[in-house]
Amino acid sequence: MVEHRTVETNGIRLHIAEEGEGPLVLLLHGFPECWYSWRHQFAPLAAAGYRVVAPDQRGYARSERPAAVDAYTVLDLVGDVIGLVHALGESGAVVVGHDWGAPVAWHSALLRPDVVRAVAGLSVPPTPRSGDTPPLRSMRELYDGRFYWNYFERPGVADAEFAADPRTTFRRFLYGACGDNPANDPVPAQPLVPPGGGFLDLVGEPEELPDWLTEEDLDTFAAEYTDAGFTGGLNWYRNLDRNWRLTAPWAGAALAVPALYVTGDRDIVYGFPGMCELIPALRQLHPTLREPVVLPGCGHWTQQERPAEVNAALLDFLREVAPATG
């Protein structure tokens, strides 16, 4: 059974959901999500002999939400992960991240291989630091300011759009980027916000939900965000250029721990500029990375859309890198 509590670490209070005993596995959600996005992973991983912990990361749902935008840099987020491992009484963990949680997982492994025993990322691969142009500026120039990152960076704009009706936000967000949306076959279009419009204009109201998403799931996500709002999560995007500067010392560094990457071929990230060249080259850039797992017909919400396949891939990886002793 999943249990909930609050842990204080790295100067912040984090809500965590946990189940099981054994080697620690941290599950890091993305945007706009929370611990609940891992609902299909708790029982199978715990039954296999692992201690599964999924925090609401800083700025999200029941965790603390600092007001300052610069409190959400990747170094703060990695600090939360390492601090959480130690606050849980452990010396190391396998860290798994989806969407925004994946860059946090990759950087945690890169910066603290003494604590992160192995790492897995869903949707977002370990992406090399770009050359001479920070990412927000790069996308602004490439798409005339219409790329969704640039929409998200505007203070208060996406915050208000998403908070106006959290349930509708999740209904459109989750359906819009999933593999069951016909618009994402074969590859999703670049998420460019229409002039004078909002992000949710990119996807209409679905006539019916896909099999993997229920009305009760939407109720849960909406309830987690009713008081929390979306500003904390959006602040992660607002630090993209700051992160680019802060991570300069690790430009070109390779992962030193065992690594796994899982994605869907209808994932919006899979169609980002440069991904068709990056993903085939990942194993040359990071020799400890296993062969990437690409799930046909799967969209962005990897572990929710394809829980059985994701769980199988994670358990195969975990048995190799952190065998359960029970």
Please identify every residue annotated as catalytic: 99, 300
Residues 6+ apart with CB under 8 A from 320: 258
Using a CB cutoff of 8 Å and minimum separation of 24, what contacts does 178-182 make? 178/210, 178/212, 178/213, 178/266, 178/299, 178/300, 178/301, 178/305, 179/264, 179/266, 179/267, 179/297, 179/298, 179/299, 179/305, 180/210, 180/211, 180/212, 180/299, 180/305, 181/206, 181/299
Question: For residue 5, which phi and psi values (nearest 5 degrees)?
Answer: -165, 175
Q: How many whole angstroms separate alpha carbon 36 and alpha carbon 34? A: 5
Give me the residue label for tokens 């062969």. Answer: 291
CA atoms within 13 A on the CB side of 232: 21
Location of structure tokens 């509590």: 5
Closest alpha carbon to 213 in 309, 300, 310: 300
Mention every residue, 6+ apart, whose C-beta is less than 8 A from residue 128: 251, 252, 278, 285
Alpha helices in the chain (DSSP H): 42-47, 74-87, 101-111, 135-142, 148-153, 157-163, 166-176, 215-226, 231-237, 240-246, 275-285, 302-305, 307-321
